[in-house]
Amino acid sequence: MDIPWGSEPAKKFVTNVGLITSSGPHGDNIMSAEWTHHVSYQPGLILISLKTSEATYENIIKTKEFGVNLSAQEQNVLASVAGGSSGKNVDKIAVLKELGFKFFKAKKIKALMVEGAALNVECKLVNKIEVGDHVAFIGEAVEVHLLTGKEPLVYHGQKFWKFGANIPRPSEAEINKIKSIVEKHTKK
């Protein structure tokens, strides 16, 4: 069974907005990637999922590296431009620079990084896995830049959001009740 992009089931997922930067046959490029996930602490690994038709896909295949920039809440325009066209046809970096967005040179990879992002991670490709109509690239973090005070942009229902009210953890009394029930049902 398929879960197509834009369908009601697909809209129920909540993700961040990964701005994936690369440099290669299509020059310096940026794209928005809804599927950007931190999948290991030691070593630090990040998974991105792309279509093979993307310019970013071809850049990563050639260079074996990419940048992951988690879009900050105030970067919704940047995320829209990065996701609105293909790097095969449009120099999105030039468009974004003309709109006033800034980039900086990465320390350990050749791709540019997004200035003002909530998080920037320079990645070296360690694995490539075909999954359905996408390819999952797993990159190992080789350099991390963190901007404190920046919250990531949230993507849900094909719209951008920012974090709202925090939902508190259960009370201590509820936690103790749960622990008691878990102990009661612990397999021996």
Give 114-149 pLDDT, tens digit per residue: 999 999 999 999 999 999 999 999 999 999 999 888
pLDDT at 10 over 90: no
Positive/negative CA dihedral, 23, 41, 136, 16: negative
Cα 57 off chain centre by: 15
Cα 172 off chain centre by: 35
pLDDT at 166 over 90: no
pTM, entire model? 0.91
| Residue 186: band (very low, low, confident or very high) from pLDDT cuts 50, 70, 90 | very high
- Integer Cα distance of 55 and 30 in angstroms: 9
pLDDT digits (tens, 9 = 90+) for 35-74: 999 999 999 999 999 999 999 999 999 999 999 999 999 9
**What residue ranges in 83-184 does DSSP mark as E strands?**
103-105, 112-114, 119-131, 134-146, 154-156, 159-161
Task: Return the pLDDT at 127.
Answer: 98
Task: Return the pLDDT at 11.
Answer: 84
Q: Averaged over 94-102, what is the pLDDT?
A: 96
Tally the residues of the chain. 188
Positive/negative CA dihedral, 91, 115, 149, 70: positive
Q: Averaged over 72-101, what is the pLDDT?
A: 94
Task: Return the pLDDT at 76.
Answer: 94
Q: Averaged over 65-92, what is the pLDDT?
A: 94
Task: Return the pLDDT at 48.
Answer: 98
Q: Which residues pair with 50 in a beta bridge?
A: 135
Task: Return the pLDDT at 142.
Answer: 98
Task: Return the pLDDT at 6.
Answer: 83
- Integer Cα distance of 54 and 50 in angstroms: 7
Residues 6+ apart with CB under 8 A from 135: 49, 50, 51, 52, 57, 128, 129
- Integer Cα distance of 36 and 16 in angstroms: 7
Q: Averaged over 102-118, what is the pLDDT?
A: 97
Task: Return the pLDDT at 117.
Answer: 97
Average pLDDT score, the chain: 94
H-state helical runs in the chain:
8-11, 55-63, 76-83, 92-98, 172-184
